[in-house]
Amino acid sequence: MTTAVLITGTSSGIGRATALRLARHSGLTVYATARRTEAIADLAEAGARVLALDVTDERSMRAAVEAVEAEHGAVGALVNNAGYGEYGTVEETNLDGVRRQFETNVFGLARMTQLVLPGMRTEGRGRIVNVGSMGGRLVFPAGGYYHASKYAVEALTDALRFETAPFGIKVSLVEPGLIRTGFGGTAAGTLAGSAAPAGPYAALNAVAGQQMADSFKSTALSAPPETVAKVIERAITTPRPRIRYVVTPAAKALVHTRRLLGAGMFDAYLRRQFRGAA
């Protein structure tokens, strides 16, 4: 039976790469979504079906899920990919921006999940793949609010996996490291706009911004979005998907290092990385 895959946030980056990859999979019908369908018109040419979807709007979310269910009975697989980073220090970052980020990264993911689950339970099967981040396992300075949103995704995914298992629904968390998409530019922009240049955290913000720019440019530390798309495809199609997929060697090394060092030693490691920020 053909599985209908609904992917959020496919206008760029990981979502776009995933839609393109899955559209080539003969056993899947892919629904690519974005706020503006004109931004993903080319995905229709690649074989995906295009829907308007804003994960911060209830009516939009309901309409997208209902469109898939009208044709397939249920969403076979949901890829909760939509998200972005709101960067800045805890003291200085505008909380209106933080709320908007949580509406997309956390509440949008949660609501999309709520909407597809009744159909999946009725079918007795389904896949949910949440795109988290290595940033849900460790924290860098000037990124606390973004990391908090990804820690929330970790918690929701762990609860969801246990709750839905009796209904034949498999839940996986994909945790990418640094991926060469527009994410880095967006995050750097929010960081630059989060505080006055001469504020108390100016030095930290400058170092954090440079670290971010250098890391995303590094081919040793980052990877293209197609790397994540391949993992998402595996999580959807393999009979026994993993609970977690950490993506990129650098992310695996950092997550392992954070676990081994503990909080105090990892802080010392960060102080070395962020020299000049004090």
Residue 99 in this model has a pLDDT that exceeds 90: yes
SS3 string, 144-200, reads HHHHHHHHHHHHHHHHHHHHHHHHCEEEEEEEECEECCCHHHHHHHHHHCCCCCCCC
Cα–Cα distance measured from residue 185 to residue 246, given in angstroms and rounded to the nearest whole number: 22
DSSP state of 2: P
In single-letter form, the type of residue at position 240 comes to R
What is the structure's pLDDT at 125?
97
What is the structure's pLDDT at 148?
98
Cα–Cα distance measured from residue 196 to residue 58, given in angstroms and rounded to the nearest whole number: 36
Residues with catalytic roles: 146
The residue count for the chain? 278
pLDDT digits (tens, 9 = 90+) for 195-211: 777 889 988 988 888 88
Closest listed residue to residue 7, CA positions, set 43, 42, 59: 43
Q: Where are the beta strands (DSSP E) in 65-142?
A: 77-80, 126-131
Indicate the CATH number for domain 3-273: 3.40.50.720
What is the structure's pLDDT at 1?
46
pLDDT digits (tens, 9 = 90+) for 166-179: 999 999 999 999 99
**Helix (H/G/I), strand (E/B), else coil: 227:** helix
What is the structure's pLDDT at 83?
96
Cα–Cα distance measured from residue 215 to residue 32, given in angstroms and rounded to the nearest whole number: 29
What is the structure's pLDDT at 48?
97
Q: Confirm if 47 and 30 have CB atoms less than 8 A apart.
A: yes
183 pLDDT tier (thresholds 50, 70, 90): confident
Cα–Cα distance measured from residue 21 to residue 18, given in angstroms and rounded to the nearest whole number: 5
Q: Where are the domains of the chain?
A: 3-273
Closest listed residue to residue 18, CA positions, set 236, 244, 230, 223: 230
**How many Cα neighbours within 13 Å face the side chain of 174?**
30
